[in-house]
Structures are given as structure tokens and as C-alpha cells.
């Protein structure tokens, strides 16, 4: 059986984002994230991999150590649900501050997804991407995975932009558990309602 993964954006997809989150003690998971990830990993046998832009590093607002500390805190909070994220990929660069060769990892580029797939032997055709921004949808679409947009903070104007090429998700979810139910139903090829 191929190795399949659910790729996740981090901030405002699995945890609340106060803006350039650098304090691990401020990490709070969205409702349903622990239960949803436990189902995806423990019952449906997905690898769970975070794909995140962290330009606060190049902006000098947060450090890479803080990014890693927040990632560790997320896994610590997920232990209660008997689950953890398998790997974290993040891009600390931004085109306003860094040369193009450094920023090629930044979503909507699919580079981090491709790097994760190579590292973990993931079959992208049987994988998914859950995120809260159009850049997440575009990244997943470019990588050839099914995409799910979680409407945690997205505006109606941004939702209207979903008609643009490369920005149309396979599913729009009202919350994280709704996204996980879509994946479960999609696996069994039942109609989701």
C-alpha cells in the first residue's frame, strides 16, 4: 500500500495564530484538531506533515528556535489525543527580504511538499492538503494532492477567488473535523453531504 499523507498548514489551520507566533506557551489548538489528526493517523494510516511559511524569521520578529519550540509544543498538546505530527517543514524566507533562490520554498510553491514526499516516500496522488489560505490550496493543487480549505479566518472575498485557476479546492470545510470527515468519505468514495 502506498504511503499517503495529509499535509497541513500550521497557523490558523491547526492552531490559533496571534501573528508571528513565537511563544510556545501561547499555542492553542483549534477545536477538533486533536481528534481529527488521531483519526487520520491512527485509523486511516496517514502520515501527518506540516507545510508552513514562517517569514517572521527573515523579518527578525521570531527565530528558528522559536518556530521549532512552537512545533514541539503542538506535538506536546497532541499527545493527549495519542497522536503527533510526523514532520514539520517550514520556509523562513520572504521575497521582500531574500533572494529568489531562497524563497523558492515559500507557498504557494509546492517545493516543501515535494521535499516531504521524497523524504518520506509519499504517494502524492493519494494524499491531501488542509489549509486556511488560498496559497495552501494553490500549493496542494500544484503538488497534485487533493485540497481542502478550512474557513477559520478566510474572508468572503477570498472565497469568491476560489474560481481562479489553481485556487479551487476539492472541498471547503467549515472546521477541521469537517475536513477530516471529507477525507474519510473520499477514501471510501462515498458521496459527502
**Which residues are marked as active site?**
9, 11
- Integer-rounded Cα Rg, in Å, for the chain is 16
Give a yes or no: residue 138 inside a domain. Answer: yes
d(CA 71, CA 114): 20
In this predicted model, which residue has the larger pLDDT, 70 or 158? 70
Task: Yes or no: say if 118 and 129 are a contact pair by the CB < 8 Å rule.
Answer: no
In this predicted model, which residue has the larger pLDDT, 192 or 188? 188
14-63 residue pLDDT tens: 999 999 999 999 999 999 999 999 999 999 999 999 999 999 999 999 99
Give a yes or no: residue 97 inside a domain. Answer: yes
Confidence of residue 191 (pLDDT cuts 50, 70, 90): very low
Cell 512545533 sits on residue? 71
Give a yes or no: residue 193 inside a domain. Answer: no
Q: Is the pLDDT of residue 160 over 80?
A: no
The CATH number of whichever domain residue 175 belongs to comes to 3.40.50.1000
Give a yes or no: residue 157 inside a domain. Answer: yes
Cell 472565497 sits on residue? 159
Give a yes or no: residue 192 inside a domain. Answer: no
- The total domain count for the chain is 1
Give a yes or no: residue 67 inside a domain. Answer: yes
Average pLDDT for the chain: 93
pLDDT at residue 1, rounded to an integer: 73
From residue 82, give the alpha-carbon distance in Å to each of 36, 43, 50, 76. Answer: 11, 12, 17, 10
89-129 residue pLDDT tens: 999 999 999 999 999 999 999 999 999 999 999 999 999 99
Domain that holds residue 38: 5-187
Give a yes or no: residue 122 inside a domain. Answer: yes
Give the number of C-alpha atoms closer than 13 A to the C-alpha of residue 31, restricted to the C-beta side. 4
Instruction: Decide: helix, strand or coil at residue 5.
Output: strand
Instruction: State which H helix or E strand residue 156 sits in.
Output: helix 156-160
Give a yes or no: residue 100 inside a domain. Answer: yes
Cell 485557476 sits on residue? 165
pLDDT at residue 192, rounded to an integer: 45
Amino acid at each position: 500500500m502506498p504511503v499517503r499523507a495529509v499535509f497541513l498548514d500550521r497557523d490558523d489551520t491547526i492552531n490559533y495564530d496571534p501573528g508571528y507566533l513565537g511563544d510556545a506557551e501561547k499555542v492553542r489548538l483549534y477545536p477538533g484538531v486533536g481528534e481529527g489528526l488521531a483519526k487520520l493517523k491512527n485509523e486511516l494510516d496517514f502520515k501527518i506533515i506540516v507545510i508552513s511559511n514562517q517569514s517572521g524569521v527573515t523579518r527578525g520578529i521570531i527565530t528558528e528556535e522559536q518556530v521549532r519550540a512552537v512545533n514541539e509544543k503542538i506535538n506536546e498538546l497532541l499527545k493527549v489525543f495519542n497522536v503527533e505530527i510526523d514532520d514539520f517543514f517550514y520556509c523562513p524566507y520572504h521575497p521582500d527580504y531574500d533572494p529568489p533562490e531562497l524563497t523558492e520554498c515559500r507557498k504557494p510553491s509546492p517545493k516543501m511538499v515535494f521535499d516531504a514526499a521524497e523524504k518520506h516516500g509519499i504517494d502524492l496522488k493519494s494524499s491531501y492538503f488542509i489549509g486556511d489560505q488560498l496559497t495552501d490550496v494553490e500549493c496542494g493543487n500544484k503538488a497534485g494532492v487533493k485540497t481542502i480549505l478550512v474557513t477559520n479566518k478566510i474572508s468572503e472575498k477570498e472565497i469568491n477567488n476560489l474560481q481562479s485557476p489553481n485556487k479551487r479546492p476539492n472541498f471547503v470545510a467549515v472546521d477541521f473535523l469537517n475536513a477530516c470527515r471529507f477525507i474519510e468519505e473520499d477514501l471510501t468514495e462515498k458521496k459527502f453531504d
